[in-house]
A = this chain, B = another copy of it.
Amino acid sequence: MSAPRIGILTISDRASLGVYEDASGPAIEAALREYLATACEYERRVIPDEIPDIVAALNEFVAKDCCLVVTTGGTGPAPRDVTPEAIEQVCRKLLPGFGEQMRRASLEKGVPTAILSRQTAGIAGKSLVITLPGKPASIRVCLDAVFPAIPYCIDLIGGPRLDGNPAAVQVFRPK
């Protein structure tokens, strides 16, 4: 049996053009490696804020049987922010509780502009797709807020079992 696969998608015009180096994708991989006791195979990509590119990259990760796909960037109200629109095209089910919980976590950290975030999550095939913010400083706040529910969600959609690293994070599976 091969290791579970996780896709990480950095959605950023400037990072994809090389204007700056992508810091968010590596930060997400580092966090997931720390939180997961299960050894996984990680694949990262960097693409511009274009719906067709995002849709294609998401579908590719789904086709490769990634049980988890995490995006970063493109969830704000600015004209170039189109990540949620791409997610809606790819996912057959949306999970509004993820966006609620991530916005609440940022609000509780004293960031009133968290309400501007259109972060969401959804199911595409057997993949759980989650959108994280683009700013590295906000990534852990949002990921920490939803991580405990991720492994059980992947159980429910028929994916591989992921175990958390109890030293870093408390994974929850209802009895």
**Is A70 interfacial (CB 8 A cutoff)?**
no
**Is A2 interfacial (CB 8 A cutoff)?**
no
Q: Which residues of B contact A128 (CB under 8 A)?
A: 77
Q: Which residues of B contact A104 (CB under 8 A)?
A: 100
Q: Which residues of B contact A158 (CB under 8 A)?
A: 79
Number of interface residues of A (CB under 8 A): 40
A 75-113 contacts with B by CB, 8 A: 76-79, 81, 84, 93-101, 103-104, 107, 111-113
In the assembly, what is the distance between CA of A112 and CA of B149, in Å?
6
A113 and B149 contact, CB distance less than 8 A:
yes
Q: Which residues of B contact A111 (CB under 8 A)?
A: 172, 174
**Is A136 interfacial (CB 8 A cutoff)?**
no
Q: Which residues of B contact A15 (CB under 8 A)?
A: none
B156 and A116 contact, CB distance less than 8 A:
yes
Q: Which residues of B contact A149 (CB under 8 A)?
A: 112-116
B78 and A101 contact, CB distance less than 8 A:
no
**Residues of chain A whose beta carbon lies under 8 Å from any beta carbon of chain B:** 76-79, 81, 84, 93-101, 103-104, 107, 111-118, 123, 128, 135, 146, 148-149, 152-153, 156-158, 172-174
Closest 6 A-B residue pairs measured CB to CB?
A97-B115, A112-B148, A113-B149, A112-B172, A78-B156, A97-B103
